[in-house]
C-alpha cells in the first residue's frame, strides 16, 4: 500500500471520528435541552460564578486604582483573557476534569473496550452547560477591556490577543489533562486537581508583578499561571520589564501553551496505556 493510499485512509478515519464526536455532542446538547429549567439554571450558574470574579476585581480596582503599575483597564484585560480561556476549557474539556470520579465508578474500563479513544469518550461523556455562562461573562469583559484599552488596536496586536487567548486555553487544558492523567491511577488525586485550579483562578486574573519574587517564580516555572493571561497581556500592553521571564519567552507564551498541550496529551496516552484498573 503506497503512502498516498495510507494518508487517504488515515484522513478518512479522522473524518469519521470527527463526525462521531460531533454527533455525540449534538446528542448531549439535545439531552441537556430536555430539561429547560435546569439548562437555564446551568447557564445562570456559570454567569454568577464568573460574575463574582468580576465584582471582586472591580471592588479591588476601585479601592486601589491600578495594580503594580498596571491601569484598571489593563488589569481587566488580563482577567478577561483568562476567563475566556477558562470558558473554552470548560466547554471543550469539562468532563476531563472528572476522570477521578469516572475511574471510581468503573466507567473508564468500558471506555477501553470501544474503538473511539478513551480521551474522546471522556471528553464527550457529558456537556457542561455552565460553560455558556462562563463564555458570556468572559466575552462581555473582553469586549469592555478592548473598548477601554488605551493603546491603538493594530492588526498585530489583535492577532496576538487571539493567540494569547488560545494559548491560555491550551495551557490550562494541559494542566487539567496532566492532573487527570495522574487521576487515572490515583482517583483521589482529583481533589489536588481542584486545588490547583483554585490557585489558577485566584492568581491568573491579576498582574503577578504585585507578588513577591519567589511567588512570581513559583507561578511561572512550577505552576505556569503566568503564561495563561499575564504574559500575553504584558506583551500587548508593553509591561515586559516587570515579568519574571526573558522578553522572548514572554512573546512565546502562546507557543508555550501549545507545547504544554501536546506534552500533556502524550502523558495521557502513556497513562492510558499503563492503566490496569482502579489504583493500577
pLDDT 10s digits, 74-129: 888 998 899 999 989 988 888 888 888 888 888 888 888 887 888 988 888 777 77
Can you tell me the distance from the alpha carbon of 134 to that of 45, in angstroms, rounded to the nearest whole number? Answer: 9
pLDDT score, position 35: 64
> Is residue 138's pLDDT more than 50?
yes
Prediction pTM value: 0.83
Can you tell me the distance from the alpha carbon of 240 to that of 176, in angstroms, rounded to the nearest whole number? Answer: 28
Q: Which three cell numbers stand for residue 98?
A: 472528572
Percent of the chain having pLDDT more than 70? 76
Q: Per DSSP, which regions of the chain are E strands?
A: none
3-class secondary-structure state, position 278: coil
Are the beta carbons of 121 and 207 closer than 8 angstroms? no
pLDDT score, position 150: 76
> Is residue 164's pLDDT more than 70?
yes
Using 50, 70 and 90 to split pLDDT, how confident is the model at 157?
very high
pLDDT score, position 28: 62
Report CA-CA distances (Å) from 278 to 100, 109, 266.
10, 9, 21
pLDDT score, position 5: 47
The residue-averaged pLDDT of 163-171 equals 96
Using 50, 70 and 90 to split pLDDT, how confident is the model at 68?
confident
Angle at 134 between CA 132 and CA 138, to 5 degrees: 115
Mean pLDDT for all residues in the chain: 82
pLDDT score, position 81: 93
Element (H, E) at 193: helix 190-203
> Is residue 144's pLDDT more than 50?
yes
Report CA-CA distances (Å) from 136 to 31, 40, 51, 83, 140.
22, 13, 10, 10, 6
Q: Which of 20, 233, 23, 33 minimizes the C-alpha distance to 132?
A: 33
Are the beta carbons of 100 and 188 closer than 8 angstroms? yes
pLDDT tens, position by position, 12-52: 666 666 676 667 666 666 666 666 676 677 666 666 666 66
Are the beta carbons of 207 and 190 closer than 8 angstroms? no
- Boundaries of every domain in the chain: 35-274
Amino acid at each position: 500500500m503506497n503512502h498516498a493510499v495510507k494518508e487517504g485512509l488515515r484522513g478518512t478515519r479522522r473524518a469519521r471520528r470527527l463526525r462521531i464526536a460531533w454527533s455525540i455532542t449534538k446528542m448531549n446538547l439535545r439531552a441537556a435541552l430536555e430539561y429547560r429549567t435546569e439548562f437555564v439554571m446551568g447557564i445562570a450558574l456559570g454567569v454568577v460564578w464568573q460574575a463574582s470574579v468580576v465584582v471582586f476585581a472591580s471592588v479591588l480596582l476601585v479601592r486601589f486604582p491600578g495594580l503594580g503599575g498596571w491601569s484598571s483597564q489593563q488589569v481587566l484585560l488580563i482577567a478577561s483573557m483568562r476567563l475566556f480561556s477558562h470558558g473554552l476549557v470548560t466547554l471543550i474539556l469539562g468532563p476531563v476534569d472528572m476522570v477521578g470520579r469516572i475511574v471510581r465508578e468503573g466507567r473508564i474500563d468500558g471506555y477501553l473496550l470501544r474503538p473511539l479513544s478513551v480521551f474522546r469518550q471522556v471528553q464527550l461523556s457529558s456537556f457542561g452547560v455552565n460553560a455558556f455562562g462562563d463564555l458570556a461573562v468572559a466575552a462581555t469583559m473582553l469586549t469592555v477591556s478592548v473598548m477601554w484599552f488605551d493603546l491603538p488596536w493594530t492588526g498585530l496586536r489583535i492577532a496576538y490577543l487571539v493567540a494569547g487567548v488560545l494559548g491560555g486555553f491550551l495551557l490550562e487544558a494541559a494542566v487539567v489533562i496532566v492532573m487527570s492523567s495522574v487521576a487515572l491511577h490515583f482517583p483521589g488525586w482529583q481533589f489536588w486537581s481542584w486545588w490547583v485550579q483554585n490557585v489558577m483562578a485566584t492568581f491568573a486574573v491579576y498582574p503577578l508583578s504585585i507578588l513577591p519574587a519567589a511567588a512570581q517564580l513559583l507561578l511561572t516555572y512550577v505552576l505556569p499561571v503566568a503564561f495563561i493571561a499575564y504574559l500575553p497581556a504584558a506583551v500587548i500592553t508593553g509591561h515586559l520589564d516587570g515579568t519574571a521571564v526573558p522578553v522572548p519567552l514572554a512573546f512565546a507564551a502562546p507557543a508555550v501553551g501549545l507545547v504544554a498541550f501536546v506534552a500533556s496529551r502524550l502523558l495521557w496516552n502513556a497513562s492510558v496505556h499503563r492503566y490496569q484498573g482502579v489504583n493500577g
